[in-house]
Amino acid sequence: MIVPRTNRDEILAKLQKKVDARVPILIASAGSALVAQLLESAGADCINTFSGARLRANGMGTMSMLWPILDSNKQTLEYTEQDIMPAIRGDAFVCACVNANDPLRDMVTVIERCKQMGVFSISNIGPSISYVDKDSEIYRVLTKSGITFAHEVEMLRVAKEMGMVTIALAFDEEDSLQVVEDARPDVFCFHAGTTKGGLRGYDSGETIAETAERTEAVNRQVLERHPEAILIAHGAAMETPEDSQYILDHTSCHGIWTGSSTERIPIEKAVFATAKQFADLRYSRP
**Residue ranges of domains in the chain:** 8-273
Please state at what angle helix 149-161 crosses helix 173-183, rounded to 10 degrees.
30
CATH architecture of 8-273: Alpha-Beta Barrel (3.20)
State how far the Cα of 27 lies from the Cα of 47, in Å rounded to an integer.
Answer: 6
DSSP-derived 3-state class of residue 234: strand
CB 127 within 8 A of CB 99: yes
Block means of pLDDT (10 residues each) for the chain, 286 residues, are: 92 98 97 95 96 74 69 94 96 97 95 97 92 92 94 98 98 96 98 69 78 97 97 93 96 94 88 96 93
Length of the chain: 286
DSSP-derived 3-state class of residue 25: strand
**Which has the closest alpha carbon to 164: 44, 20, 12, 31?**
12
Instruction: Tell me what pLDDT residue 61 has.
Output: 66
Q: What is the DSSP letter of 45?
A: S
State how far the Cα of 261 lies from the Cα of 267, in Å rounded to an integer.
Answer: 10
Instruction: Tell me what pLDDT residue 249 has.
Output: 98
Structural element, H or E, at residue 218: helix 208-225
Prior bond to 266 cis, omega within 30? no
CA angle 212, 169, 20 (to 5 degrees): 65
**Which has the closest alpha carbon to 187: 170, 165, 171?**
165
Instruction: Tell me what pLDDT residue 79 has.
Output: 95
Task: Please name the residues in contact with 45: beta carbons below 8 A apart, sequence gap of 6 or more.
Answer: 14, 15, 18, 25, 26, 27, 92, 93, 255
State how far the Cα of 169 lies from the Cα of 189, in Å rounded to an integer.
Answer: 5
Instruction: Tell me what pLDDT residue 64 has.
Output: 67
State how far the Cα of 195 lies from the Cα of 203, in Å rounded to an integer.
Answer: 7
